[in-house]
Amino acid sequence: QVQLVESGGGLVQAGGSLRLSCTASGLPYDYAMGWFRQASGKEREGVSCISWTGSVTDYTDSVKGRFTISRDDAKNTLYLQMNSLKPEDTAMYYCAARRRGCTGMLAAGERDINYWGQGTQVTVSS
């Protein structure tokens, strides 16, 4: 049974930083992993993903240069380092895993994502 458990969310002032973590259990080694977010009243959007080898990464335009995704397979953990946070980054952040890889993952529909975490809330105050 696959489980993805996020942590690291919280309340931070604009310009601050947070690091999200997602610990995976039971996940096969060759899955891409990523982060999605959903703000109140909005659709879920892809934020960033990383291939199972770590050689491919992708970011949505609004976070490029501010967020960095990484994975530590020895710890079965995915990270999202978020710097220069803005109020518009406020959302529930979800960890996700996809068998088909990182390419196209951010635009993938929910049915194309194999596993989801429960989410961690990030709130950025102005």
DSSP notation for 32-95:
EEEEEEE-TTS--EEEEEE-TTS--EEE-GGGTTTEEEEEETTTTEEEEEE-S--GGG-EEEEE
Portion of the chain with pLDDT greater than 70, in percent: 100
Provide the pLDDT for residue 39. 98
DSSP notation for 95-111:
EEEETT-STTTTT--GG
Q: What DSSP element (H or E) covers 123?
A: strand 120-125
Instruction: Kindly state the greatest CA–CA separation across the chain.
Output: 40
pLDDT classification of 34: cutoffs 50, 70, 90 = very high
Q: 95-122: per-residue pLDDT in tens?
A: 999 999 999 999 988 889 999 999 999 9
Phi, psi of 88 (to 5 degrees): -70, -5
Provide the pLDDT for residue 117. 98
38-47: average pLDDT: 96
Provide the pLDDT for residue 22. 98
Rounded distance between C-alpha atoms, residue 25 and residue 22, angstroms: 10
CB–CB of 97/110 below 8 Å? no
Phi, psi of 71 (to 5 degrees): -140, 145
